Structure 1
Amino acid sequence: MTDLRGRTALVTGGGSGLGAAIARALSHAGAELVIVGRDARKLDAVATALPGPAHAEVCDVADEVSVSRLRDALADTEVSILVNNAGIAGPVAALTDIGVADWDEVFAVNVRGTFLLCRAFLPPMVARGSGDVINVASVSGKRPLAHRTPYTASKMAVLGLTSTLAFEVGPAGVSVNTLSPGPVEGERMARNFRLEAERSGTSVDEAESAFVSRAALGRMITEDEVGAAVVAMLSMPGMCGADVDLSAGMIA
């Protein structure tokens, strides 16, 4: 078990789903948690349920002013682990049917949010000569996924951001890596399957089966497996600029 005692981890999108699971795994490994998101009630509930010290901070990761306020609020906190997990799925539609506002919203959260958090919290890590950044991308950023162009394009952008940033801050002792989950069991994927079923005229079960049939294990992964992967990545100090595929074998 990786021992993260004495370290503080900031997890965005921590009020539910993957963010909450990542926060739980880090807390069980001994880290102190700062859980970030837009819903104070959900954030407080997650923080209260964690086994170790944790507190919530409300922040819209896509908003520059909001991120600056978060940075200032944590000025006396040594954040040495940053997990950029916040993201939205966006529309399920043909590219020609997607509105500009929907496209921009996906990139604002998934890409600009990652950029803004890195820009805010990397300088102290670089100054100290240590730190870890894990950006949550997706296997869908590495293979075709029809009717999901904003999402897949945004996740490919996160992969490019990560690989380049690793070479910018790696010489200072800061590791930047990407975790690319495949389909994760939960409401988010259930929503996607419902939308795909409506679009294609199939059943929800058929939409789900078609999706997970691409995985070698023939299943989706779980939120707890994603949390465990984040902790495992922090136990590999030589890894930098890497992309970890956690997809039950859904090969890109």
Structure 2
Amino acid sequence: MTADRVAGRTALVTGAGNGLGRAIAHALSAAGVRVILAGRTAAKLEQVAGELRDAPAGVRTAVCDTAQPGAVDALRRDLSDEDVSILVNNAGIAGPVRELVDVEPDEWDEVFAVNVRGVYLMCRAFLPAMIAHRAGDVINVASVSGKRPLARRTPYTASKMAVLGLTLTLAHEVGEHGVLVNCLSPGPVAGPRMERNFRLEAERTGMTYAEAEQAFVSRAALQRMVTEEEVGAAALAILRMPGMTGADIDLSGGMIGR
């Protein structure tokens, strides 16, 4: 392992076909990491891979639905020739935007399958090799929504709180084996998902889109959303902190404190 703990290693990033997964993959690749892009849609993965083709450390794609045990087991077998020492569990879905009493059980189950069971299955599949090598890093992407109320988003909020609990406990389970497990909790990230949320909120309340956005952003100390590039940089920073495990890194522009 190199002095900066990053260059020369191999990272597996889930949900890597767009958004935060894409940004994290770009940040790691630029730091000299070989990146394996995992996700459910081959075309999106190949698009990101095309952006990283010239990276010296290389890039690879792997189609996988991380919520499905069989798919994750197949992924582990397919990557048996790779020394995955960094696992970034980023895959997730937003779920319904409704009052809890209007959320259907299958909607609730889908959010937890992707956002929580997927993290468990990926850790279960790829931690044994890290434990055997007595080295490795797991970054679970949670959300500030797991630490503060977010009206009409109960399934999502509850799932992200579960990821926080999973991270803290797992860090204590594998710490003696030299494996670090941390959480990265972004606040609202500028992009299509938040644009969707602002449209829905404007429709629900009668506000304009701009008013709905401002009402949300005003909760942050920086009075803005964070960017995908800032999330990628934060993931890289976590990997460069060898004494940190069981931590939850808030990246919300100060939203969690208000």
Normalized against structure 1, the TM-score is what?
0.98
SS of the aligned residue for 1:240 comes to coil
Q: Is the 8 A contact 2:5 2:239 kept in 1?
A: no
Deviation for aligned residue 1:201: 2.3
1:2 and 1:39 mapped to 2: Cα distance? 33
More off after superposition, 147-156 vs 195-204: 195-204
Q: Does 1:47 align with 2:49?
A: yes
Q: Does 1:105 align with 2:107?
A: no
1:170 and 1:199 mapped to 2: Cα distance? 46
Percent of pairs with identical residues:
67
Q: Is the 8 A contact 1:212 1:219 kept in 2?
A: yes
Deviation for aligned residue 1:110: 0.3
2:237 and 2:92 mapped to 1: Cα distance? 22
1:2 and 1:128 mapped to 2: Cα distance? 18
2:71 and 2:181 mapped to 1: Cα distance? 23
Amino acid at match of 1:7: R
Cα-Cα RMSD: 1.1
Aligned residues: 252
Partner residue, 1:119: 124
Residue of 51, 76, 89 corresponding to 2:81: 76
Q: Deviations over 1:112-166 (max 9, x none)?
A: 0000000000000001000000000000100001000000000000000000000
1:195 and 1:231 mapped to 2: Cα distance? 33
Amino acid at match of 2:20: L
Deviation for aligned residue 1:2: 4.8
1:222 and 1:2 mapped to 2: Cα distance? 24
2:211 and 2:157 mapped to 1: Cα distance? 22
Amino acid at match of 1:46: V
Q: Is the 8 A contact 1:3 1:29 kept in 2?
A: no
SS of the aligned residue for 1:104 comes to helix
Q: Is the 8 A contact 2:93 2:114 kept in 1?
A: yes
2:256 and 2:188 mapped to 1: Cα distance? 12
Q: Does 1:197 align with 2:165?
A: no
Partner residue, 2:7: 5
Amino acid at match of 1:21: A
**Superposition pairs of residues 169-188 of structure 1, within 5 angstroms:** 169-188=174-193
Q: Is the 8 A contact 2:6 2:240 kept in 1?
A: no
Amino acid at match of 1:93: R
Q: Does 1:95 align with 2:97?
A: no
Q: Does 1:247 align with 2:249?
A: no
Decide whether aligned partners of structure 1 residues 2 and 219 sit closer, same or farther in structure 2, where only a CA change above 3 A counts.
Answer: farther
2:10 and 2:76 mapped to 1: Cα distance? 14
Q: Is the 8 A contact 2:189 2:228 kept in 1?
A: yes
More off after superposition, 206-215 vs 133-142: 206-215
Q: Does 1:154 align with 2:159?
A: yes
Deviation for aligned residue 1:215: 0.3
Residue of 14, 19, 22 corresponding to 1:20: 22
Deviation for aligned residue 1:5: 2.4
Q: Deviations over 1:177-230 (max 9, x none)?
A: 000000000001101111122222222211111111110000000000000000
Query: Which consecutive unaligned segments of at least 5 residues does structure 1 have?
Result: none
1:221 and 1:69 mapped to 2: Cα distance? 35
More off after superposition, 211-220 vs 50-59: 50-59
More off after superposition, 101-110 vs 42-51: 42-51
1:156 and 1:179 mapped to 2: Cα distance? 12
2:93 and 2:24 mapped to 1: Cα distance? 17
